[in-house]
Amino acid sequence: MVFRHCFVASNMIVFLAFGCSSGANSSIENTTQFVQESNVTQLFIEAKATQKAEDFFHQGNHLLDGQRYQDAIKAYDKAIAIKVENPEAWINRGIALTSLHRYQDALVSYDKAIAIKPDKYEAWYNRGIALTSLHRYQDALASYDKAIATKPNKYEALINRGIALTKLHRYQDAIGSYNRAIAIKPDLHQAYYNKACSYALQSNLELAIENLDKAIKLVPDKYKKLAKTDPDFSKVRSEKQFQELLQ
């Protein structure tokens, strides 16, 4: 079966408003002027810190793109040390940890992001991936459901939800999830391939071949090669029609 992954690289915008005032040098006005200047100084300090956190965040994204996961984590840690309420940094830190197969640590990062922003799609989605990697399929399913509730038209979550359902031997529910993904994106080769897997696991040769054929027509080399060794097809692999499809 085929997973879909997700990466967050959102830009943060800093708004900094400076004001000016003039007036007679009364004691009240002088006090007011002092407070305004102090506020401006504080705003400047906060904006500078925010910019520094943003710089570390983008540095982390660059390192993550370059698959330098350990260095990316260090950069995200620096961003978070300055601005802890940064769900994007927590999410991408989790992705770096997931890439290092540190799934439990990744879950902590995703949970931090969710605590800050409970409806953050990417946090729930990537949390589902980490849970799937830990073979915690029921928990993964719950995370994908949260992601889909936030963004119903994200076919990636529907595909991975189908995988979790397949692992739970809920094949018809899995096929339903893949069909929802296909309704959003009709040329979704991963969904057709995973549907074929679900049918093969039920020994439904006809529908396994029908869906595998659709996946192969979309991406021929990948799925012909994958289907030859994928254990999901073990029940139908010896069938003549299946062998002919892979020629």
- pTM of this prediction? 0.80
pLDDT at 50: 74
Backbone angles phi, psi at 25, to 5 degrees: -85, 55
As a whole number, mean pLDDT of residues 164-187 equals 97
pLDDT at 31: 44
Confidence of residue 14 (pLDDT cuts 50, 70, 90): very low
CB 39 within 8 A of CB 17: no
Q: Does the structure show a pLDDT above 70 at 232?
A: yes
Q: 91-110 pLDDT, tens per residue?
A: 999 999 999 999 999 999 99
Q: 55-80 pLDDT, tens per residue?
A: 999 999 999 999 999 999 999 999 99
pLDDT at 177: 97
As a whole number, mean pLDDT of residues 202-222 equals 97
Average pLDDT, the chain: 85
pLDDT at 18: 28
pLDDT at 46: 60
Share of the chain above pLDDT 90, in %: 77
Confidence of residue 181 (pLDDT cuts 50, 70, 90): very high
